[in-house]
């Protein structure tokens, strides 16, 4: 995040690969004197329990953990029986919009 903030034109938004990284991005933004979402929107991925308690509360993509666990177990049972398994599986995430994201700033 520090490298992005050092650019001549920092991004209007960042999407982090997990919520912990997003929390680090929020801290770097705050340390640089900027604010989320007023200056830079930040979103994470996971929807950790603490995401709704951060300052500002973190926008994130919630993963369907129960569904993913059920699918993994079904695949494991198939493999144990010697059956073929699907190679590509997609599950639907859910966008949880909180206060770390907003409309892009005007240039």
CA atoms of 75 and 84, how far apart (whole Å):
9
Confidence at residue 98, expressed as pLDDT on a 0 to 100 scale: 97
pLDDT of residue 107 exceeding 60 = no
pLDDT surpassing 80 at residue 60:
yes
The reported pTM is 0.83
pLDDT score for 61? 97
pLDDT band at 89 (very low <50, low <70, confident <90, very high): confident
Kindly list the structural domains of the chain, giving each domain's residue range(s) and its CATH number in brackets, ordered by start.
Answer: 2-64+92-96 (3.40.50.2300)
Sheet with 41-46: list strands edge to edge: 13-15, 41-46, 59-62, 94-96
pLDDT of residue 106: 64
* Residues 51, 42 contacting (CB under 8 angstroms): no
């Amino acid at each position: 995040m520090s490298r992005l903030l050092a650019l001549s034109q920092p991004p209007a938004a960042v999407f982090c690969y997990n919520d912990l990284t997003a929390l680090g991005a929020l801290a770097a933004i705050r340390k640089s004197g900027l604010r989320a979402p007023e200056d830079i929107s930040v979103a994470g991925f996971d929807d950790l329990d603490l995401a709704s308690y951060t300052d500002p509360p973190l926008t994130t993509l919630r993963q369907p953990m129960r569904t993913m666990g059920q699918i993994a177990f079904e695949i494991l049972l198939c493999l144990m029986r010697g059956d073929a398994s699907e190679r590509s599986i997609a599950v639907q995430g859910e966008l949880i919009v909180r206060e770390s994201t907003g409309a892009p700033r005007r240039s």
